[in-house]
Amino acid sequence: MAFIDFLAFQEGLLLIAAALVGFVGISVWWAMQHNDAAGASSALKSGAVPIGAVGAISTVLALWAETTWPFPAPMAAYNIFFTDVYLLFGMTLVVLSVTMAFRLKLAYAGMFAFVAGAITMGYGWNGYILSMTKDPLETFLMYLAFGGVGIFALPATLVTDHFLAHPDGTAFTFSVKAPSARSRPAFQSASRAVQPVVPGVAPTNTETVTAPPAKFHLPVYVTVYSWFFIGVVGLAGYAAFAYLLATLPGHLMAAP
């Protein structure tokens, strides 16, 4: 079987994955903002299929590349430098999609992503200091961005798990002021002389007032971290897009 250079296609899958994860993240945050556990769960389950498809294709391509040795001379470094972390990328998406589809604890997928992200950063740094590509800095920044997505995914999954574990809306009870009863004088300027007197019943000068239910507010730290994580995903997507644009001309014009 002839060697096929599908590097640009793999980079395209990186971009698609970043777009999907970012979209799911925004959808889940929106549901959390409205205290809608069912909506958050639906967003996760709906995103499982496309994320799983990208993960499965990426895993198959990475497994093929891992077992194809050596690559042609201009791409020899990619057999180790690129496909090792690309296999981790595909596996992470598969684990995440299965977790989302079956509504399992997301934190386990988050831990997988955390370790995979740390490994990716390590590969990126070594590739940079060894100048393993024609664009070592750009490559390192892309690895750094996707590694950051994996690392920062762990706290994001922990917060989401906590929210989904309280479908009754009490996930962040300290952010909602529970309605309370209070007492106040019924007639602040009234005197006992003008109050009705009922034989055998002691007069009262207080009444109970129930405050209206407080509006739900998602804690600020949850919103800030959610958008921080979405921003990191956006940076990873931009890095993949820029890398794809740089790779595509040579990929289309040169023979594999």
Please check the confidence at residue 184 and state whether its pLDDT lies above 60: no
Q: Tokens standing for 157?
A: 């999954």
Please report the pLDDT score of residue 183 as a whole number.
Answer: 45
Residue 86 vs residue 248, higher pLDDT: 86
The helix/strand/coil state of 128 is: helix
Residue 206: inside a domain, yes or no?
A: no
Give the number of other Cβ atoms within 10 Å of residue 4's Cβ.
Answer: 10
Neighbours of 161 (CB within 10 A): 16
Give the lowest-confidence range in 50-64, 139-153, 238-252: 238-252
pLDDT at 167: 85
List CB contacts of 197: < 8 A, sequence separation 6 or more. 203
The length of the chain in residues reads 256
H helices within 68-192, ranges in order?
Answer: 78-81, 83-101, 106-129, 136-164
Give the total number of structural domains in the chain. Answer: 1
Report yes or no on 107 lying in a domain.
yes
Answer yes or no: is 183 within a domain. Answer: no
* Count of CB atoms situated within 10 Å of the CB of 29: 23
Q: Is the pLDDT of residue 164 over 90?
A: yes
DSSP character at residue 183: E
Return d(Cα 195, Cα 26) in angstroms, integer.
59
Is residue 182 one of the residues assigned to a domain? no
> pTM, whole model, 2 decimals?
0.81
- Could you report the per-residue pLDDT of 29-75, keeping only the tens digit for each? 999 999 999 999 999 999 999 999 999 999 999 998 888 766 666 66
Domain housing 169: 23-173+216-253
Whether residue 113 lies inside any domain: the answer is yes
Whether 241 is covered by a domain: the verdict is yes
pLDDT for 27 beyond 50: yes
Q: Is the pLDDT of residue 7 over 70?
A: yes
For the stretch 86-96, what's the b/e string if a residue is b when 16 or more beta carbons lie within 10 angstroms of its beta carbon?
bbbbbbbbbbb
